[in-house]
Structure 1
Amino acid sequence: MNYDLVLTGGQVVDPGQGIDRVTDVAFAGGKVAAVGDGLNGQAAQVRDVSGAIVMPGMIDFHTHVYWGGTSLGIRPDELARRAGTTTWLDVGSAGPGNFEGFREHVIGRTETKILAYLHISFAGIYGFSDKVSVGESCDMRLLEPNSCADVARANPDLVRGIKVRIGSHASGFNGITPLKFAIEAAEQANLPVMCHIDTPPPRYEDVLAVLRPGDTLTHCFRPRPNAPTYTDGRVREACFEARERGVFFDIGHGMGSFSFEVAEAMLAGGFPPDVISSDVHALCIDGPAYDNLETMSKFLHLGMSVNDIVRSVTKTPADILKRPDLADLSVGSTGDVTVLRVEQGDFTFVDVQGATRSGGRRFSLDSVVLDGRLWHDARAA
C-alpha cells in the first residue's frame, strides 16, 4: 500500500491500544492507515521523528477558544502551533444565545478541531477580562435549562456536554442551584456536565455529592479554600467516593486553579487526575498556564509517567466525549498526531499562587499532523 505520510523512528505511545514502542505510523486518505515496522519505504513523504514521542492528537479538555466572541477567547490555530493541540474542548464560552456565532465564525473557520460544552448561562461567559469580572451564574434569570437543552440537541456533532461555573466568584450566593439547572439541561439532552468550582459556597464535597457518573469536576487541584485536601494534606474521602461512582477529575489549570502543594498531596495520596487540561484563555495564555504542554510538563516534574500523561490528554478525554476516533492510532481513526520531545535542562515551573518548582525535564513540540498531513513543523518554525 502507498501512504501519504509516514512518521518513522519515534516512540509511539498509544495507551488506548497498549502501544509503547519504537515503530512507524502511516497515514492515507486523511486517516491512520497502519502502525508497524518498516513502513517508511512506501510513502510520498517520510518524516524521521527518532527520539520523539508520537501520540494520538492532543485533546485539551478545558479551553476558551471563542476568539472575538468573548473577552477571554484565544486564537486556537495560533496556539496549536505552540502547544500541539489538535482538538480543543471549549467549555462554556458560548451559551444557548450565542452558540451559532461560535459555530459559524470560529469553529467553521478553524483548521484544528473544536468541540464544546454548552454553558447553562444563556450568554455564556460574557464578563471576564482584566477589568470586568461578572459571574454569569450569579444571575438566575440567565439559567434556562430548556433553551440550553434545545441548542445542545440541535448541535450534536459539536456539543458534547453542559458547562456550569459555581462558587462565590462565578455564582455568588446561589449555592448548588446553578449546577442542578445544568444537570436538568444535561438530562434532557442526554449529556454529561462539567462543573467549575471556585471559592465557597458551595463546598468541594457538596459539589461532588451532586455530580453524576460521567460528569466532570474541573479545577480539581485548586488551592485553598475549597481544595480537595485537608489542611494536613490528606485527600478528602469525598474524592475517592466520587471517583468510585464514575465522576471524572480534570485539572483546568487556568489563572487560579492549580496548586503545587495540593497536587503533590493528591499524588502522594494516590489520587492522580483523570484529565490534564490548561483552561487556557486570554488572561493566562502568557502565564501561569500558558498551554497544555506546560501543564503536562508540571505533572512530568511531579512524577507522573509519560504513558499516564498521554492517556490524560488522549484516551480519557476522548472516552468522556464519546469520540473514540480521537482516542488512539487504530487503523481508520482520525489522522491527528502530536509529536513531542522531552527536553533536558534547568526549568522553573510556577503555579497560580506564585509557588515555584525547579525541574530537569519538560515537553516540547516537534510537529503536528492533522487529518493525515504534516500541518506544523516546529523544527522549521
Structure 2
Amino acid sequence: MFDLILRNGRVLDPGQGIDRIADIGFRDGKVAAVEPGLPVEAAKDVQDATGLIVTPGLIDLHTHVYWGGTSLGVDADAIALRGGTTTFVDAGSAGAGNFAGFRRHVIERSQSRILCYLNISFAGIYGFSKNVMVGECSDIRLCDAREAVACGREHSDLIVGMKVRIGRIAGGTSGVAPLDIMLEAADRLQLPCMTHLDYPPPGRIEVIPRLRPGDVLTHCYKPFPNDIRGGDGHVRAEIKAARERGIIFDIGHGMGALDYEVARAMIAEGFLPDTISSDVHTLCVDGPAFDLLRTLSKFICLGMSLEQVVTAATSAPARAIGRSDLGSLAVGAIGDATVLRDRSGSFDYVDSLGRSMTGNRRLFCQGLVRGGIWTANEEQELA
C-alpha cells in the first residue's frame, strides 16, 4: 500500500543517474518505490504526471525566510509552490540572539522544511530595507564564537552551517575579522560555512584562501568589483584553485548578485555554478530573483541544461549541507518531489543590473510532494 503514487512522469534525478518515465510511490513520508507500472489500486492517492517532469524536492540553498522576525524575511509557505521549493535553507537571517524565536514562531509552524545557516552576528541580519542598510558585522562586538557554538549545539537538528556577511556594506570597517570568528565557530561545531562578500574591503585575495573544502562562496556570478573574472575576461587563477580544493560556488541571485555578462562568460568557459539559489528576500521577491524556479529558468536560458540546473538545486545543495536524505528520489529518502512543466515561449528575464534577456523556456511548478503528501499548485502563474 502506498500513500501516494505519482504516475507516468519523466523522473529526473541526476544524483541517482535516473532519467526515465516511471511511477514514484511514497509511504510513511518516504520514497518507497521508483519503477514503471506501480499498482495504482494499492494507493490512497494517485496523481497523473504524464507529460511532466518529476524531480527530487528542490532545495534553495540561500534564502531569507525569518518572516516577521527580520526585516528581510519572506514567508516560505507563500512562495513554495511558485518556486517549486520543498526545502528552504535560510542563509543567516538569525544569529544566536534570536534563533529561538525563528524556530518557535516560523520554522515549527511552517509547512515547508526550513534549515539554517546561523549568522555569526549575535543579532542576525537586523537592518535591511530600501531605506535602512546597517551591516550586522559592522560592530565586531556582535561577532562571538562562543555564543554561536552554544546556539549551534542547542539547535543542531536545524543548523547546517555558519554564515557570515562581510564587505563594506555588511561589515563596515571590520574587514576580514568576522570571517575568522565564524570559521572558529564552524570548526568547533564541525560544520561548513557560507560566505557573502559584497564590496571590498576585504577582497577575494583575503577571503578565498581562508575557506575550507566544503565551504560555500555565495554570489559567485556577481558584478565587478568582486567579479570572479580577471580583467582579461577569464576565470581568475585563485578561483580555479579554490574549486580544485573543494570550495562550493553558489549563485545567490538576490537583489544584486547575478550579472548576465559574468554568467555568460563563466558558462562559456565551463565554470558552472555548483549550486543555484535564489537568495530570495523582501527586496527581490517581486524581482529580479522572484524565487528558485525563476532563477533556474534563467540559467537554462543562459545555456545550462535541464539536468545541470536540477542537479544544482537537488543533490548538490543536499551534499553542501550534509543531508543525503534530501535532494534524492532513492528508495528510503525523505518523500519530497517537485513536479514541473517545462514550457516553451517568450519570457522576459532581468538580472541584478537591470539588463533584460528574452528566453524561450521557463519552468513552472505543477505541485509539490512534501513528506509524501501532495499539494497541487492551483494558482500556477503562466505569464
Verify same fold: TM over 0.5: yes
Asked if 1:31 corresponds to 2:34, the answer is: no
The aligned counterpart of 1:180 is: 180
Q: How far apart are residue 272 of structure 1 and its match?
A: 0.3
Other structure's SS at 1:282 match: coil
Identity of aligned residues (%): 53
Asked if the contact 1:7/1:40 (under 8 Å) is kept, the reply is: no
8 A contact 1:365–1:378 mirrored in 2: no
Name the structure 2 match of 1:11: 10
User: By how many angstroms is 1:380 displaced?
Assistant: 7.7
Pairs aligned (count): 380
Instruction: Measure how far apart 1:231 and its partner are.
Output: 3.0
Asked whether the equivalents of residues 58 and 327 of structure 2 are also in contact (C-alpha less than 8 Å), the reply is: no
CA distance in 2, matches of 1:246, 1:207: 15
Aligned partner letter, 1:109: R
The residue identity in structure 1 corresponding to 2:151 is: V
* Offset from partner CA, 1:41-77 (integer Å, 9 cap, x none): 3322211111211011010000000001000000111
Other-structure match for 2:45: 45
Three-state SS of the structure 2 residue aligned to 1:262 is helix
- What runs of 5+ residues in structure 2 fail to find an aligned partner? none
CA offsets, 1:342-373, max 9 Å, x none?
A: 11111111000011111111111111011111
How far is the alpha carbon of 1:331 from its aligned partner?
A: 1.2
How big is the shift at 1:281?
Answer: 0.3
Q: Is the 8 A contact 1:228 1:236 kept in 2?
A: yes
Local SS of the residue matching 2:133: coil
One-letter identity of the residue aligned with 2:106: V
Q: Is the contact between residue 40 and residue 46 of structure 1 (CA under 8 Å) also seen in structure 2?
A: no
Shift of 1:377: 3.2
Q: In 1, distance between residues paired with 2:377 and 2:133?
A: 38
The one-letter amino acid paired with 2:24 is: V
**1:98 equivalent in structure 2:** 98
**Which amino acid in the other structure matches residue 167 of structure 2?**
G
Cα shift at 1:379: 6.6
8 Å CA contact 2:8–2:36 kept in 1: the answer is no
1:237-262 Cα distance to aligned partner (Å, 9 max, x none): 11110111111000000001110000
Q: How far does residue 267 in structure 1 lie from its aligned partner after superposition?
A: 0.9
For 1:376 and 1:105, the matched residues in 2 are separated by 26
Q: Which moves more between the two structures, 354-363 or 201-210?
A: 201-210
Pairwise CA distance, 1:204: 2.1
Measured in 1, the distance between the counterparts of 2:242 and 2:380 equals: 46
My pick for the range that moved more, 197-206 or 332-341, is: 197-206
Q: Residue 308 of structure 2 aligns to which amino acid in structure 1?
A: D
Note the C-alpha offset of 1:191.
0.7
Distance across 2 between alignment mates of 1:134 and 1:184: 24
Task: Quote the residue 1:368 is aligned against.
Answer: 368
| Structure 2 residue 129 is matched with structure 1 residue 134 | no
Matches within 5 A, 1:1-381: 2-41=1-40, 42-378=42-378
Structure 1 residue runs without a partner (length 5+): none
Cα distance in 2 for residues equivalent to 1:8 and 1:108: 31
Segment of structure 1 superposing worse, 320-329 or 97-106: 320-329
Q: 1:194, 1:364 → 2: CA distance?
A: 29
Q: 1:137 aligns to what SS in structure 2?
A: coil
Q: Is 1:8–1:40's contact at 8 Å kept on the other side of the alignment?
A: no
Please give the per-residue CA displacement for 1:270-293, whole angstroms capped at 9, x wherever unaligned. Answer: 110000000000110000000011
Is the contact made by 1:24 and 1:40 (CA closer than 8 Å) also made in structure 2?
Answer: no
Helix, strand or coil: the match of 2:20? strand
| Runs of 4+ with deviation above 6 angstroms | none
Q: What amino acid is the match of 1:237? A: A
Structure 2 CA distance for aligned equivalents of residues 140 and 282 of structure 1 = 26
Change over 3 Å in CA distance of 1:379–1:125 after alignment to 2:
closer
Are the structure 2 counterparts of residues 223 and 367 from structure 1 closer, same or farther at C-alpha, using a change threshold of 3 Å?
Answer: same
- Does structure 2 conserve the Cα–Cα contact (< 8 Å) formed by 1:366 and 1:379? no
Contact 1:84 1:368 in 2 (8 A): yes
